């Protein structure tokens, strides 16, 4: 569950030449000390302390391409020791404590009118996705290519039935995505409630419905991670049956 994001990417490219461009291993190929995803994110997977030091030293000597460093907290703390001197000046924000949550065994039914978004609703969902990204990540996904790549990402998630919404009067009130699928694990990303509907219980009921629908459509284990300082979201997730099983860290550039 900790490595769902990187694991999902490894499964996508594992049988293509791109795997060597995004993943490296430490130690013996037959019994590696760990893997490192060095794509849009930089993330160590199941790495020993020695492998983390090796990965950090290797990446510190190279130009930074990743927009974030993310992974299990203890691993990231060790990994960052080798990177901090050369990459530290580029850091925009440290999010050291991000509780990793998993939905309870039964889940709880809500009454939110949540449903999968339809392909023809991509233009309706896109502004909500942009608002979520700006608020959560702190940068504008429309920069660079004018939002073309981000719009394609939004459309792709919808096309594969991985975006869930509550819509009322042609307005998206709630949105969440299955951002990663890795084996039996579905990791939820991009949870957003329209600002004028916050504090009314919509997030809690929609998340409760989301668990059941994601299990029905994608995978039995539903996880997500949240910033420790986001108390409203943590309360909503707890009320929806989520509990903590670990802790991640993210360093944003």
**Which band of pLDDT confidence, cut at 50, 70 and 90, is reported for residue 13?**
low
pLDDT of 107: 55
Please provide the average confidence, as pLDDT, over all residues in the chain: 91
Question: Positive or negative CA dihedral for 205, 215, 175, 231?
Answer: positive
Residue 197 has pLDDT above 60, yes or no: yes
pLDDT in tens, 102-160: 999 765 566 789 999 999 999 999 999 999 999 999 999 999 899 999 999 999 999 99
CA-to-CA separations, 158 to 28, 49, 128, 155, 196, in angstroms, rounded: 40, 39, 13, 5, 24
pLDDT (0 to 100) of residue 137: 92
Mean pLDDT confidence for 67-93: 95
**Residue 27, pLDDT score:** 77
- What tokens were used for 249? 């860290």
Domain ranges of the chain: 4-91, 115-246
pLDDT in tens, 32-51: 789 999 988 999 998 999 99
The CA-atom distances, in angstroms, between 150 and each of 26, 143, 201 are 33, 10, 29
Query: What is the rounded average pLDDT of the residues 203-212?
Result: 94
Least confident of 25-29, 31-35, 74-78, 133-137: 25-29
| CA-wise closest residue to 176 among 243, 247, 98, 240 | 240
pLDDT of residue 120: 97
pLDDT at position 31 over 90? no
Residue 32's pLDDT is: 79
Q: What pLDDT score was predicted for residue 191?
A: 98
pLDDT (average), residues 225-243 = 94
Query: Which superfamily does 115-246 belong to?
Result: Gcn5-related N-acetyltransferase (GNAT) (3.40.630.30)
More confident residue, 10 or 156: 156
44: buried, middle or exposed (CB in 10 Å: 19+, 13-18, 0-12)?
Answer: buried
Position 30 scores a pLDDT of 73
The phi, psi pair for 192, rounded to 5°, reads -150, 135
Helical axes 231-239 vs 202-217, angle rounded to 10°: 60
pLDDT digits (tens, 9 = 90+) for 175-193: 999 999 999 999 999 999 9
Instruction: Read off the tokens for 211.
Output: 């668990």
Would the pLDDT of 227 be above 80? yes
């Amino acid at each position: 569950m900790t490595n769902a994001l990187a694991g999902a990417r490894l499964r996508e490219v594992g049988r293509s030449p791109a795997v060597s461009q995004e993943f490296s291993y430490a130690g013996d190929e037959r019994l590696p000390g760990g893997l490192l995803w060095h794509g849009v994110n930089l993330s160590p997977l199941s790495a020993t302390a020695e492998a983390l030091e090796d990965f950090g030293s290797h990446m510190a000597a190279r130009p930074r391409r990743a927009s974030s460093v993310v992974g299990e907290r203890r691993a990231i703390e060790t990994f960052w020791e080798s990177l901090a001197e050369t990459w530290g000046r580029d850091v925009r924000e440290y999010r050291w404590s991000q509780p990793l949550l998993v939905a309870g065994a039964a889940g709880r039914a809500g009454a939110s009118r949540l449903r999968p978004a339809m392909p023809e609703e991509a233009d309706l969902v896109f502004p909500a996705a942009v608002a979520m990204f700006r608020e959560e990540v702190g940068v504008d996904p429309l920069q660079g290519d004018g939002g073309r790549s981000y719009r394609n990402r939004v459309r792709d998630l919808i096309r594969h039935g991985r975006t869930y919404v509550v819509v009322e009067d042609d307005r998206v009130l709630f949105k969440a995505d299955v951002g990663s699928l890795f084996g039996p694990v579905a990791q939820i990303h991009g949870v957003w409630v329209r600002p004028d509907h916050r504090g009314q219980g919509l997030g809690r009921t929609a998340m409760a419905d989301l668990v059941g629908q994601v299990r029905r459509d994608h995978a039995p284990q539903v996880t997500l991670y949240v910033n420790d300082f986001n108390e409203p979201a943590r309360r909503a997730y707890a009320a929806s049956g989520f509990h903590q099983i670990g802790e991640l860290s993210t360093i944003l550039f």
